[in-house]
Structure 1
């Protein structure tokens, strides 16, 4: 069982995974490898917008744009991603704070 390093196409997080797992994730996301947090965010976005013909590609594109928003550190980016995912899952319809409002540089 060989372990390989792979980098998330969205947030850039690097993980060590088996080739079988990497292939499975890439198969689910149009050939792109996404870390666990980003894959959950994409699935969450996909479950909200079922009307889109391009579904998975649009959800990945939207999440990649979110990940490009500059924050003070990768840890803050992960924390903001978790917060946003929890907010969505809780059904909170309030306007989410933009990362620049939440964490002024």
Structure 2
């Protein structure tokens, strides 16, 4: 069976889909339409059929959530009602996403800052030669 995926214009800005994206799958036995859909909890984007999207939305009060979030909601449901579990999980995801850094440059700056602080807090050796010996020994097998 020969399958071609024909992508239409996709524009991602900071992980957000700006334009609606549809991919059409053409196959010898007939085609099925695949759409990109974004999880309303964590923001993960997946390619799914319209039928699957409708099924997931129907079981989640009109919201589309990915499989990982669905599992987290199932665990939350053990503690209370289903609607409350979904709302609690969505709040946790929103809080987590809002606490994340907004750009790769900020992430790099934060990582360098963390490494610098760790290196300044680490104990100093008494001489440079002992440092060199310690490094050379670490590479010997």
Q: How does 1:12-91 map to 2 (within 5 A)?
A: 12-49=43-80, 55-68=81-94, 69=96, 70-71=99-100
Question: Equivalents in 1 of 2:88, 2:51: separation in Å?
Answer: 27
Per-residue deviation, residues 24-66 of structure 1 (Å, max 9, x unmatched)? 10011000000010011011100222xxxxx222111100111
Q: Which runs of 4+ in 1 moved over 6 A?
A: none
1:2 aligns with 2:2: no
Distance across 1 between alignment mates of 2:56 and 2:67: 9
- Could you say which structure has the larger radius of gyration? 2
Q: CA deviation at 1:71?
A: 3.7
- Larger % of helix: which? 1
TM-score normalized by the length of structure 2:
0.45
- The CA RMSD over aligned residues, in Å, is 1.8
Query: Which protein has greater RCO, CA pairs closer than 8 Å, 6+ apart?
Result: 1
SS in 1 for 2:40: coil
The count of residues paired between Structure 1 and Structure 2 equals 69
Q: Which consecutive residues of structure 2, in runs of 5 or more, have no partner in the other structure?
A: 1-31, 103-113, 115-141
Q: Can you give the 5+ residue segments of structure 1 that lack an aligned partner in the other structure?
A: 50-54, 74-103
